[in-house]
A and B are shown apart, each in its own frame.
Chain A
Amino acid sequence: MSATETLLEVKGLTKHFALHADIYSRLAGEKAQMLKAVDGIDFHIRRGETLGLVGESGCGKSTTARLVTRLIEPTSGEVKLRGENLLAFSSSRMKEARKEIQLVFQDPYSSLNPRKTVMQILSRPMEIHGLAKSWTEKRGRVLELLRRVGLGVEHIDRYPHEFSGGQRQRIAIARALSVDPDLVIGDEPVSALDVSIQAQILNLFRDLQEQLGLTYLFIAHDLSVIRHISDRVAVMYVGKIVETGPAAAIFENPLHPYTKALLAAVPEADPDKPPPKLTLKGEISTPIDPPPGCRLCGRCPRETAICSQDAPPLVEVGGDRQVACHNL
């Protein structure tokens, strides 16, 4: 296995939701408004690396996570795991593939079943995928998982409500690891945690990646978290990826006007840094029936005539970076 092997490749991934005004217009077959949650995005993740997906609420980050895991079906596009298109898989084939892609959700209070013990929560995926035969084997594996995420044997028979938020997120991570996946998708996995606990969980993600050779798709809205955890970063704005590239390059020298604006708006925990500023006009654009052209139209300081006519494609700009802007 070479270090640069592509584990996941996403091409032209699109999800449009039809918004009907009411049931009558739906029955009458009237044309619905289209909410273009994800609108033709391309990205890839190499084995063993972390791709950070960052953007503001409603930009399509979580929809992307759900599409990649086929929790919802895309409108069009391809999701290739080691070169094979997941979207063409039969349901039995998909079940096999689900072992390899696991999700960790944002809210550890709603993503764990309150009526199941830790043992039940962590052994269920093994049962579904036939990974452990006997009770002893299951218990052994659950103990091993708990140890990996920094919990112990004393926690195995407890219920989720007996744990703090950080500990619950450790259980959610252990559950994702229970089927020995290659790719772990974290959908805002540290957003609900206090900063001192957030640091513990970020370190845990880092340790697990080292020990198990995991590949991460890490979704967050917090730019400093993304900077910390990612090897490469993809910045999303209203259903489109506007910039991708190595984390250090993007944070030190952002090229897309949206990436620049996003970084300038972050208040850094240092009184000597410049105060946060918004360099864009207005508020986030709507994904409902967006006009043709660049999604940043009307807000962008670099806007020219072409911007409102053609959507800029994501183009290579050297140094493993891609940017979607007409006016670089």
Chain B
Amino acid sequence: MAEPVLALDDLTVRFRLRRGELTAVDGVSFTVHRGETFGLVGESGSGKSVTARSIMRLIPEPPGEIPRGRIDFEGRDVLGLNDAEMRALRGRRIAMVFQEPMSALNPVFTVSAQISDALRTNLGLSKQEARERVVELLALVGIPSPRKRLDSYVHEFSGGMRQRVMLAMALSCNPTFLIADEPTTALDVTIQATILELITSMIERFGMSLIFITHNLGVVAHACDTIGVMYASHLVELGSKREIFRNPQHPYTVGLLNSIPRLDTQAKYLTPITGTVCNMMDPPQGCKFHPRCAHAMEICKREIPPMREVAPGHHAACHLHGRQ
């Protein structure tokens, strides 16, 4: 296995809100190796995006705080860096692609102006050099006649083209690590297919590592090597793509896979997960999934199950796998 690039250890993120305290990420640990694509899957509110934003130190403090844990990136704990060191990291080492390009890009600056901005600040290019580099970048992400589109505004692009602009901006300072937070969720399926292909080819071409956040299991099945499944602030299962899809061990992962309607067959009924996700302001004791779990036991109501290895390189946090 290649060397580890990013290692999260016991990452915990809390928000102090007027209504009370909310733990959005609770004891999450995983490692991403060089050249690996890591898929972080889970339903809305499970803590995927907060995990990603913590890596970039984009959690506003207050109300947010990181009371526990480490985020080691290339051997340094990101949580211990000062603002200047963080600025040197963002964009140049780690870059991020957001879900909504329309709100992540600035509507009052041209595409060239906003991408140049990063190039001039981070790489110290001149205005003209930056402009030339933007042309290269737009061509790289497949925007037709890039020189003509330099002075276009974001609203003049379609959804798919906007996401290409986002990707061009993320790639602008040659990062080694990319975090893509639901980059295809707002896109139509045909556009999604092209953006997925583009991201995968960029990752391979530049030997980058990738964290791909999505709720779409179909997307991770094709875009990722390793998958982490999150439920209600906890990482509940972690393993290779094949292990997660062929040999899921956590009841939540099993439930999620069973809930998806299939394209190749038609069943009369789906097998949903019963109940609804717990209130994160007032989560249940023990395993967060136990109120919805068909296998819940007494211990599940009291103790949070730790991550245990269930097969080589495959971990699950479930009491079913705790008894020897």
Contacts and interface: CB of A to CB of B under 8 A. Distances in A.
A164 B43 CA distance: 14
A269 B218 contact: yes
A311 interface: no
Contacts of B268: 206
B266 A227 contact: yes
Interface string A198-232: 11101100100000000000000101110111000
B241 interface: yes
A227 B261 contact: yes
Contact of A271 (B158, B194, B241, B272): B241
Contacts of A262: 189-190
Interface string B211-223: 0000111110111
Contacts of B273: 196, 199
A250 to B, nearest CB: 11
Contacts of B216: 267
Most B CB contacts (10 A, CB to CB) among A248, A267, A280 go to: A267
A227 B263 contact: yes
Given A268-B221, A269-B245, A196 B256 contact: yes
Contact of A284 (B188, B259, B263, B272): B188
Interface in B251-278: 255-264, 266-274, 276-277
Interface in A281-324: 283-284
B190 A268 contact: no
Contacts of B44: 194
B51 to A, nearest CB: 18
B266 A266 contact: no
B192 interface: yes
A199 B221 contact: no
A265 B245 contact: no
Given A57-B188, A261-B190, A197 B221 contact: no
A196 B255 contact: yes
Given A197-B276, A261-B190, A275 B222 contact: yes
Interface in B100-138: none
Nearest to B240: A271
A182 B194 CA distance: 41
B193 interface: yes
A266 B187 CA distance: 12
A301 to B, nearest CB: 14
B147 to A, nearest CB: 19
Interface string B263-297: 11011111111101100000000000000000000
B87 interface: no
B191 interface: yes
B169 to A, nearest CB: 20
A194 B215 contact: yes
Contacts of A251: 263-264
A202 B261 contact: yes
Interface string B132-168: 0000000000000000000000000010110000000
A273 B193 contact: no
B276 A224 contact: no
State which size class the interface on A falls in: 35 or more
A200 B189 contact: no
Given A203-B272, A227-B263, A278-B193, A267 B245 contact: no
A269 B217 contact: yes
B302 interface: no
Contact of A199 (B160, B263, B272): B272
Contacts of B160: 283
Given A196-B273, A203-B269, A266 B189 contact: yes
Nearest to B231: A196
B196 interface: yes
A196 to B, nearest CB: 4
Given A195-B217, A283-B160, A271 B261 contact: no
Interface string A177-194: 000000000000000001
A198 B270 CA distance: 10
B16 interface: no
Contact of A228 (B193, B194, B245, B267): B267
Most A CB contacts (10 A, CB to CB) among B196, B259, B261 go to: B261
A279 to B, nearest CB: 9
B33 to A, nearest CB: 19
Given A166-B276, A269-B221, A271-B241, A224 B190 contact: no
A251 B271 CA distance: 22
A203 B269 CA distance: 6
Interface string A38-56: 0000000000000000001
B242 interface: yes
Contact of B222 (A167, A264, A276): A276
A276 to B, nearest CB: 4
A197 B255 CA distance: 11
B58 to A, nearest CB: 24
A221 B188 contact: yes
B222 to A, nearest CB: 4
A265 B276 contact: no
Nearest to B227: A271
Contacts of A202: 261, 270
A167 B276 contact: yes
Given A195-B43, A202-B270, A283-B191, 10 more contacts: A56-B189, A194-B277, A200-B272, A224-B261, A228-B266, A228-B270, A265-B192, A271-B222, A278-B193, A280-B190
| 4 nearest A-B pairs in the assembled complex, by CB-CB distance | A199-B272, A228-B261, A267-B218, A194-B43
7 contacts: A195-B259, A199-B272, A200-B272, A265-B189, A268-B263, A271-B221, A284-B190
Interface of B: 43-44, 158, 160-161, 188-194, 196-197, 215-219, 221-223, 241-242, 245, 255-264, 266-274, 276-277
Interface of A: 56-57, 164, 166-167, 194-200, 202-203, 206, 221, 223-225, 227-229, 247-248, 251, 261-271, 273, 275-278, 280, 283-284
